[in-house]
Amino acid sequence: MPERKEIIIKDDAYSLAGTGADLVVSAALESVQQTGRFTLAVSGGSTPRAMHRSLGRKPCLSQIPWPGVHIFWVDERCVPGYDPASNYGRARHDFLNRIPVKEDQIHPMPVDLPPEEGAEKYQDEISSIFKIGGHDFPDFDLIFLGLGLDGHVASLFPGQKVLAEKEKWVAAVKGGDPDVSRLTLTLPVLNEAHRIVFLVSGKDKAPAVKTVLEGDEENLPAQMIQPRTGRLIWLLDREAASMLSWTTQTG
Ligand code: 6PG
C-alpha cells in the first residue's frame, strides 16, 4: 500500500491548534458539499483542547456548516461527564456549549452502562447515522488522534488483544492513565476514515513520534493506523518533531 503520509510541522502549540481547526473547517465544507453531512470523531487528552476551543470561536464558528455536523468520540473513559477525566465533559466545556448544533448531532459514548453493553450501544448509534449494516465499517470524514508516550492511540494500548479486533466497531477495554474502563473505536473503523489527523505537541512526545515514524518495528498501535483509502496527516509542533530525521520532516 503506498505511503500516503503527510507531515506538517508548526512552530508551536498555538499554531498547531489553529491549523487543526482549519483542517476541520476545510473537511467540513468539502464533506457537507459532497454528502450533506460531516462526521467528525475527536480524541480526548490535553493536546486537542486548544483546537477544540478554536472551533467554538470565530472565525471557525461562522465558517463550519454546523447543521450537517455530527460529532463522535474516538474513545472515552467510563466516568461521569462531570469527572475531569471525561473526554466528553472536557469537550462540552471547551466547545460543545458554544456551537450551534442540536443535541442529536452530538454522540457521546454511553458510559453509564456496563462497558460491553456501552460498546454495542455506541455501534448502534454510529450505524443509525451512517445507515450501514454491521458488515461494513463507518467511514468517518475526519478523525483526530493523539499519540500516547507509549505509542497508543485512542484507548488502543500496546499488546492489548483489541488490536486484533477485525469485526467490532467499538470495544470495551481497560488501561491507560487513568487506568479505568474505557470504550474505544477499533482499528478497522479508524482505518476506514477519509482523513486521519494525528495532533501531537511537546518535547515529551518527540521519542514516541520518532519511534512511530522512523522506527523499524511496526507493533505500536500508532503504527497500525494505515488508512485503507484515506489521507493520513501528522500535524506536529517543532518540539514533537524535534527528533525526526530531516528526510522524514521534509517528506
Ligand atoms: C484518551 C485519548 C488518548 C490521548 C493520548 C494523548 O482518552 O486518553 O484519546 O489516546 O489522545 O493519550 O493524550 P495527550 O493529548 O493528553 O498527551
pLDDT tens, residue by residue, 161-170: 999 999 999 9
CB of 239 shorter than 6 A to ligand 1: no
C-alpha 140: how far from chain center: 10
The CA distance from 208 to 212, in Å, is: 6
Residue 2 has pLDDT above 50, yes or no: no
**Which numbered atom of ligand 1 lies nearest the CA of 199?**
15
The per-type count for the chain, helices as H runs and strands as E runs, is 8, 10
CB of 184 shorter than 6 A to ligand 1: no
pLDDT confidence of residue 22: 98
Query: 24 φ, ψ to 5°?
Result: -65, -45
Closest CA to 8 of 202, 241, 213: 241
CB of 148 shorter than 6 A to ligand 1: yes
What is the distance in A from the centroid of ligand 1 to the CA of 49? 11
Among 43, 88, 152, residue to substitute to test ligand 1 (most atoms within 8 Å of Cβ): 43
Q: What tens digit of pLDDT does each residue of 193-207 get?
A: 999 999 999 999 999
CB of 175 shorter than 6 A to ligand 1: no
pLDDT confidence of residue 251: 66
What percentage of the chain exceeds 90 in pLDDT?
92
- How many CB atoms are closer than 10 A to CB 179? 9
Question: Which residue has its alpha carbon closest to ligand 1 atom 8?
Answer: 45
Question: Which residue has its alpha carbon closest to ligand 1 atom 15?
Answer: 47
CA angle centred on 165, ends 161 and 120, rounded to 5° = 110
The CA distance from 165 to 187, in Å, is: 7
CA angle centred on 176, ends 174 and 180, rounded to 5° = 45
Which string of b and e fits 53-80 if b means at least 16 CB within 10 Å?
A: bbbbeeebeebbebebbbbbbbbbbbbe
Residue 105 has pLDDT above 60, yes or no: yes
> What's the pTM value of the predicted model, to 2 decimals?
0.97
Q: What tens digit of pLDDT does each residue of 13-54 get?
A: 999 999 999 999 999 999 999 999 999 999 999 999 999 999
**Which numbered atom of ligand 1 lies nearest the CA of 145?**
11
